[in-house]
Amino acid sequence: MSGLLPDSLRGRWYNSPAFDPDDPWAGFAPHRTAVVLVDLINWQAHPDGFSSRTASGDYKTTRCADVVVPALSRVLPAARTAGAAIVHSRLASRAADYADIVPALREYVRAAGALEGRWAAEPLDGLHEPGDLLVTKSGSGAFGSSDLDQVLRNLGVRTVLYAGVVTDRCVLLTAAGGFDLGYEQYLLTDCTAATTAADQASAERLVSGYLARPATAAEAAGAFETS
């Protein structure tokens, strides 16, 4: 019947009919893949960072320490060995007066002292290695406020795996940008953190229902190791 979804697309994620509903890693090509770490930097996710001193920071930084970083300790080595790109996307300012940061976030970033080159803007210990790429964003979504799309296209990347904080904010908006740009996307659920457990669960449902296929760190590492 006209207007109905064809049977060939039923059960597939909206952003890419190439996804096989029976095999979520079918056709996975590590050399055309990037793991994008969103704001896994000191001011956002370190226990001594600015965010941990705010009312909503405690759950997020604890989850990062107890869940996210251990999960990434398996994914990142497997990805690097398989030839995937690792990209650290960081909300930080290149300007001493923070004028390059979007107005809604400018005072927040200023209060954190998140200037490029300072400790606040550096990736969490153990996540960055030589050969990884760094992009600096001026707003929430990395595709809309940095050169992430250009970097990925120059590398020939077509598939993106997302990790980072905050799941229902910067990770969500980055995945939304990648969706419209046509990337095949996965959300690494145990490599992300929101400000509450309820927000984490809600964000996973929202992102995985439309923008990106959900996956665990173990599943992603296995795909890198066997592809």
- Candidate list 64, 170, 190, 191, residue with the active-site label: 170
Output the DSSP codes for 58-97: HHHHHHIIIIIHHHHHHHHHHHHHHT-EEEEEEE-BSSTT
Q: How many residues does this entry show for the chain?
A: 227
CA distances from 110 to 44, 83, 96, 164 (A): 13, 36, 9, 21
Catalytic residue flag (residue 60): no
Q: Is the Cβ–Cβ distance between 42 and 124 less than 8 Å?
A: yes
- Candidate list 60, 64, 137, 190, residue with the active-site label: 137
Alpha helices of 141-192 — where are they, by DSSP H? 142-145, 148-154, 172-180
Catalytic residue flag (residue 137): yes
- Candidate list 39, 168, 190, 199, residue with the active-site label: 39
Crossing angle of helices 172-180 and 197-210, in 10° steps, is: 10
| Chain-centre distance for alpha carbon 75 | 13
Active site residues: 39, 137, 170
